[in-house]
Structure 1
Amino acid sequence: MHTLYSRISKLSWLLVLGFLAACDNPGDKALEAPRSSVSFLHYFTDSLSGGVDEMARTFDSLSHLYALKAVSLDHEAFKSSIQDTLKAGNPPDLYSYWAGARTASLVEHLAPIDDVWQQAQLDERFSPALIDAAVEYQGHKYFLPLTQHFIGFFYNKRLFAAHGLQAPATWGEFLAVCETLKAAGVTPIALGARDKWPAQFWFDYLLLRTAPHEFRQALMAGQASFDDPRVSAVFVRWKNLIDKGYFNREPHPNNLAWDSGANEMLFRGEAAMTLMGTWSIGYFTNPAHGWVAGKDFDFFPFPVIDPTLPKVAMGPIDGLILPKRAANPAGARQVMIYLAGVEAQRAFSQGSGALAPNRLVPEAAYSDIQRRVRNEIQDSPIFTFAFDLAAPPAVAEAGLNAFADFLAFPDEYPQIVRELSNETRQRFAGRGKDLP
């Protein structure tokens, strides 16, 4: 591996030197032509913004031909903007996007990047499993990975220690931890589902820990129905946690943000755990909080419920897509080549808390908690995407709405499941008629 890394590092450095030489003008800098802009619309904002601005500035410092103009929108505004700009035919040169069903739904509007892959020899940088899961659609490469996140429990380590608790590995141990915390007057689980998507992690893991992954795949593809008893069993188990008072009740999860709400409850010691992505590492360790991973907070994977099932790890893979009608496709491809590199991906990893999809990023670039997250992913036979990235966008929307309804009215879960089953059946039947 060391020999491979050395060879690829030398090749990567030669590519960078070639890129800089092509970009550099040996003449008087004052006489250089203005750099052409590469517009980049992304959703790395607020608590999720770590690393992206630094990457853009570094690219600009290297390139004398192109200037990367990054514009950020929050997640929900971004989802609308990508629809509007693609429909209107005036997209930016690059979008950030989520691998999986989201990218698959846009393939007809995207330019393949097989040439980028070949030019930068990216098969040496990204694993075959990641390429298969995130990069290739309909026989071509359309997606350049930037970050790989993991969804797990993040917990206040000092609270656990104060009550003599260890990170649970099984469902029985998890319930015992919740009961101990509740008896001590501490909210066991903080859930901030105001933006809807955080609630899906509960549905996903409860299903993945109690039913085969193949069943969930069939469910996400419309080949199984949400009125299946295995789905109802998920809501029953979830409702039991709510009925026991293990989640925050005031503010209600549907009124609480994941970051300034649920994460802050952990930070203040009002709650002990939250089920969230590794972007929480960047949140808790930022200058505003200054927590030390492993000392003030830590993580554990979602507990095992059925030990006969293979362990599944879950999380999003963020990356870049190139629209067919980009105004500056040549510049966009140069940005992609740079952002696929070791240094760019290491910088984004350090700022965001994510793992770098580029497997040549050295282990020393990661913190201890990131290394343990990476080991958790590697030890899981299956890595999958969360509900809203595994199902077609219209189906995902129906699911997120159903989870919000369930949190508001958990006793009504039978009706919510019936309505979700009917709505997803209709949306699967109408798939492909429009953008997400």
Structure 2
Amino acid sequence: MTVKGWRLLGALVLALLAACGKEPAPAAPPRSTVTFLHYFTDSLSGGVGETAQAFNAQNASHELKAVSLDHEAFKSSIRDTLQAGNPPDLYSNWAGARTAAIVDQLQPIDDVWASAGLDRVFPPAVTQAASEYAGHKYLLPLTQHYIAFFYNKRLFAEHGLQPPATWEEFLVVCQRLKAAGVTPIALGARDKWPAQFWFDFLLLRSAPYAFRQRLLNGEERFDDPRVLAVFARWKRLLDAGYFNRSPHPNSLAWDSGANEMVYRGEAAMTLMGTWNIGYFTNAAHGWVAGRDFDFFPFPVIDPQLPRVAMGPIDGLVLPRQAANPAGARAVLAYFAGAAAQQAFSRGSGALAPNRQVPASAYSELQQRVGDEINRSPIFTFAFDLAAPPAVASLGLDAFADFLAFPQSYPEIVRQLAARAAVPGKTRQ
């Protein structure tokens, strides 16, 4: 072997010896798992998968595992897992009465609120309405939706119609559509909750907001003349044939049924939340907001009443018996951020409660939704999120019964009033 060869061999041996003497690099600690049970599914799923992936890509300490359930299954699961003492680390939940009903089984998140500076992020009105219960912060708001009429612009244009502002104008629109052979209103109430928007708005546009709050709190009775007047007005719409009759509302889904009727041009409009924006603009439909479809607020019935805007605020809550509260708090802080909230807005059609999301992140239609909310002095949650859960269940059943037997509304309302007025007798 040449001198040069011996030198190369020696260098190789020294390198191997040095490598053998090195301590191996410590392995990164495993990431803790954060379990998240939510109801953002099917037509309402926009944003959650994208946001969970973004969190996992950026966080070296925790891995978020999101599991979805449909709305009705979720309502049972959250109750069962809390009672059994084996909850996930985070739940999605609806702000309002649904959170108030389980607040004793949740952990306050005041520490997350303080450390992330969330008083600068969320408007005080949103915080007060959605996040605060019994003097503490319990819910982190994710999405703010708005209930309105979504309508097929081509149909309105073909029949020379403009979005109505008053009840009288609304009736004229319905009459003209019906005379032209178009179903004016598509209602898919198979899951019961879509029908509540009709009860709520007919009441909020004809009676003071304070009366509605007393009604839902049990301080007024459902057989009050003002409530009976709501059902009488609703019945006149049904009698006039302004709703779909085949399929019947109680057998039609809100998305694959009522929304599709509007999309196909079989019906002109449907009363639904801003999650319809995500539905109509998805890849399966490809509608352009403002060009193919648009929205208008529920028309004014009594101009003396202040305008009330309505919709749910979805959020995250932390169970008291969560197995990984530290990881859950990291997820809460991330989901409060502008990027995460913008992703939820983009996927769902909702407005982001985080006011640091720029206006440019919203479509022109979403910006007009925000204007409607801002010009309404009152923002409230829908019936099943504003009433105690037991009363909400009774009400949804009564609305379904009314749609099936509208002529029987006096007896349906009488039974609703009797059941809601007797503590412990309401159906769960």
- Shorter-chain TM-score tier: over 0.9
The letter for the 2-side match of 1:394 is A
Structure 1 match to 2:355 = 359
Q: How far does residue 187 in structure 1 lie from its aligned partner after superposition?
A: 0.1
Q: Match for residue 377 of structure 2?
A: 381
Counterpart in 2 of 1:136?
132
2:92 counterpart residue number: 96
Unaligned runs of 5+ in 2: 1-22
Q: Is residue 407 of structure 1 aligned with residue 403 of structure 2?
A: yes
For 1:31 and 1:348, how far apart are their aligned partners in 2? 35
- After TM superposition, give the deviation of residue 30 of structure 1 in Å: 8.4
Alignment of 1:21-420 (within 5 A): 31-420=27-416
SS in 2 for 1:242: helix
Using the TM superposition, give the Cα deviation of residue 31 of structure 1 relative to its aligned residue in structure 2, in angstroms. Answer: 1.8
Q: CA separation in 2, counterparts of 1:46 and 1:167?
A: 30
Distance 2:175 2:25 in 1: 68
Q: Give the drift of 1:28.
A: 9.4
For residue 421 of structure 2, give the secondary structure of its aligned residue in structure 1: helix
Report % sequence identity: 72
Q: C-alpha displacement at 1:33, in angstroms?
A: 1.9
- Amino acid in structure 1 at the alignment position of 2:54: T
User: 2-side partners of 1:139 and 1:287: how far apart?
Assistant: 44
Unmatched 5+ stretches in structure 1: 1-26
Mapped partners of 2:273, 2:414: distance in 1:
30
Relative to the length of structure 2, the TM-score reads 0.93
RMSD of the TM alignment (CA)? 1.5
Q: Secondary structure at the match of 1:31?
A: coil
Count of residues in correspondence between the two structures: 406
How big is the shift at 1:34? 1.7
SS at 1:217 equivalent: helix
Give the Å deviation of 1:32: 1.3
Q: 1:252 to 1:28 in 2, by over 3 A?
A: farther
Secondary structure at 1:122 match in 2: coil
Whole-angstrom distance in 2 between the partners of 1:418 and 1:32: 65
Query: Offset of 1:186 from its aligned partner?
Result: 0.2
**Inter-partner Cα distance in structure 1 for 2:29 and 2:67:** 24
CA distances 1:259-281 after superposition (whole Å, capped 9, x unpaired): 00000000000000000000000
The residue number in structure 2 matching 1:430 is 424
Counterparts of 2:220 and 2:123, CA distance in 1:
30
Q: Whole-Å Cα distance in 1 between the matches of residues 114 and 24 of structure 2?
A: 34
Q: Which amino acid aligns with 2:212?
A: R
- Partner in structure 1 of residue 9 of structure 2: none
How far apart are 1:430 and its partner, in Å? Answer: 3.3
Which deviations, in whole Å up to 9, do the C-alpha atoms of 1:15-50 show, x marking residues without a partner?
Answer: xxxxxxxxxxxx999821221100000000000000
User: Which residue type is aligned with residue 336 of structure 1?
Assistant: L
Q: Deviations over 1:69-90 (max 9, x none)?
A: 0000000000010011001000
Output the amino acid matched with 1:357: P
1:152-184 Cα offsets, whole Å, 9 max, x none, are: 000000000000000000000000000000000
> Following the alignment from structure 1 to structure 2, what is the Cα–Cα distance between the partners of residues 29 and 78?
45
TM-score by length of structure 1 reads: 0.92
